[in-house]
Structure 1
Amino acid sequence: MSMLKLIEDFPNHIIEGIEIANQTNFTNTKNNIQNVVLCGMGGSGIGAKIVSDWVRSEADVPVTLVADYFLPDFVSENTLVIASSYSGNTEETMQALEEANSKRANIVCICSGGKMQGFCSENKYDAIIVPSGRPPRSALAYSIVQILNILSAYNVISDNKAESLKMASELLKKDIDAIKNKGNELAEFLFKKVGIFYSEPQHEGVIVRARQQVNENSKYLAWHHTIPEMNHNELVGWGGGDKRFAPVFFETDDVYFRNEVRYDISKKAIQEKCGEIFIVKSKGESLIEKAMYFIHVIDWCSYYLSELNNADIIDIAIIDHLKGELSKVK
């Protein structure tokens, strides 16, 4: 399946993810969960980052992200560990899972098969199996929906957000022409420049996704930062800014009023250095709708930018080389 088709189908993936969630039966959700750890790397892990942004103000226990081989020391039998590896073979995540198992944590996994499915079968943990045969970065919707469903099943959040997710899918389908146009405009803005993505903290996962998609799909470098944090460091760095850089501000209609002032001042200061800035405004009512809108614009942008860059959107040869070399190290 082509990346173009996978990007086109993103709204449908949301609905398919909900159908998978509705068919999932968890074996044990009655434990006294005192904290949550979300494990995952790259395209398999970005869903965890996005969801953690969404549930920060709702979850009644701490939610920690792990993109590493090792778990925090606090992990115990009262920890819910959610591990996501699309292939089921991500070595960092698998090592973290072994540690979680040794600490008798509550474990739920999301994968399309691989070693992770075997690990869950052997140790009698729940494994949610998502459709296989695609690049991990194109399976984001499945990951997001399953993580929300797990958190709801374990009473970390009040519900699995299925209605907001359905509304997001409908919005993306309804507004597809505007989304593609904005994605194309953003790609043209980024072409032959280094993209720098800014948002409020509640959408940091979204702009991490933007950086990842530009990296993998478009073969471009980029970085990201959040407002207000960038006002305490990076804003000064823009004293050395110039037209090599392409600053992009992701904005919603419910920005915190003090951050709105920060946005305005930051945009003016940055534009004086690089000449142009680009603004992506989201649509939708809920946080989830707005984030999914951003994500779809980003994905389309990465496709159009890969075309401008004459890049193979699927190719990740350097990552495959890295994994091959690591496999030799015992």
Structure 2
Amino acid sequence: MQPVEWKTFIAQFAALSRRQRLASATLLRGAGSQNAAVALVESVARQRLHCPACNSSHAHRHGHAHGLQRYRCVPCGRTFNALTGTPLARLRHKTLWLAYAACLLASASVRQAARQLNVHRNTAFRWRHRFLTLARTDRPLCLHGIAEADELYVLESEKGSRHLARPARRRGGHARQRGISSEQVCIVVARDRTGQTLDFVTGKGALTKVQLHACLPPVIDKDVLLVTDGHAAYRAFAAEAGISHQAVNLHAGIRVQGAAHVQNVNAYHSRLREWLRIFHGVASRYLPSYLGWRWILDAGRIRSPEALLKATVGAFPHLTVT
């Protein structure tokens, strides 16, 4: 700022009200990061301002609370703010939200994020799942053309549970039975040649055609070519669903048959497994959140902390793929 501009700026302070002076002093004391997060959240709220109780858009300002503009609904009289009804409602430390969003985009563990932000690890864990509540739902609506599908298995985990249905394992651990068993959770990943990816946690044990019927028909075109390995469940599902299907006999060492292969989906599996190792075992009940997190990172759907914060409060219609 030039000296002349600075003098003009200072002269304007005399015209400020007491409340405006206090707000200016707070900003100068270092509340800029909180203001950045709050301003971002408030800007999203103004674009879709409505009462979470009656859905009316007829509301007026009603003071401030917890650093946020409060609104009062005219028809029903309920008060609300920009975070009401969002995953971030009632959370504190708004000054740290953008920094924490950056930790998520960097795949930081709970303890790493807690140390970096100087918060308790339980706070970092709670924030992780709040931030991923809405962002993880951003998925392509349908797969087109050639779609590859394959399953991978991860060790079933009751990490964090107070009461275990089995003897406790050391962190990470290994299955007690060989091969595919109820100790493992199946994840089906379907991916078309444009990179659009869908994943489904189908449950414990080996994949069945019933599970495929429950997850794949709503998200693949009828004229899609489904390419898989030789698993019998895919063949039975495709025949019953009337979908074109081609199997690649991986056991015979055949990986590519013309345009038919499952290398794209297997590469995604490899990246997913390597990424999951960071967390030393993920609780099975949280797998959908982690799969959504991985999709966000792998596809580059959200590239900045600001975009992730906006997605968390529901402002991500531009990310939807059709």
Answer whether TM exceeds 0.5 for this pair.
no
Larger gyration radius, structure 1 or structure 2: 2
TM-score between the two structures when normalised by the length of structure 2: 0.28
Q: Give the structure with the higher percent helix.
A: 1
TM-score between the two structures when normalised by the length of structure 1: 0.27
